[in-house]
């Protein structure tokens, strides 16, 4: 019997000793946990601050990349646990920050 046919049949027929299959094949990328900033003034690098309650549905939060560039997360969605979708990319041409983040102590629910 040709090898390709044997290979095809072996995939279709049940095995006598089933091989352990992982329960989930989805890989989840680790996310950076970014602390909340409650102070006055500019948001320090790698921190976030929520926007005014009247605009939180539109602008969500202010974020600062590791180089201190300010980013407003208006084009993103945020889960109830603070997970931001899609990844955050710094718009500054001189910055290479691009990562997946979770806003620690996010309390505005899913937006």
- Kindly list the domain boundaries of the chain, sorted by start residue: 30-103
What b/e readout covers 69-81, taking b as 16+ CB neighbours within 10 angstroms?
eebebeebebeee
List pLDDT tens digits, range 18-59.
Answer: 555 566 677 677 899 999 999 999 999 999 999 988 998 999
What CA–CA distance (Å, rounded) separates 70 from 48? 9
Helix, strand, or coil here: 41? coil
What CA–CA distance (Å, rounded) separates 90 from 97? 5
What CA–CA distance (Å, rounded) separates 43 from 36? 9
List pLDDT tens digits, range 54-93.
Answer: 998 999 999 999 999 999 999 999 999 999 999 999 999 9
- The pTM for the full model equals 0.73
Task: Please state, as a whole number, how many other Cβ atoms lie within 10 Å of the Cβ of residue 15.
Answer: 8
């Amino acid at each position: 019997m040709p090898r390709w046919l044997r290979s095809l049949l072996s995939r279709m027929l049940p095995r006598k000793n089933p091989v352990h299959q992982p329960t989930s094949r989805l890989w989840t990328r680790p996310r950076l946990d970014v602390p909340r900033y409650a102070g006055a003034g500019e948001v320090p690098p790698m921190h976030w601050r929520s926007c005014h309650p009247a605009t939180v549905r539109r602008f969500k939060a202010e974020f600062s990349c590791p180089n201190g560039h300010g980013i407003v997360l208006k084009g993103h969605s945020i889960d109830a646990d603070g997970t931001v979708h899609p990844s955050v990319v710094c718009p500054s041409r001189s910055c290479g920050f691009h990562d997946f983040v979770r806003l620690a102590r996010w309390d505005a629910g899913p937006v």
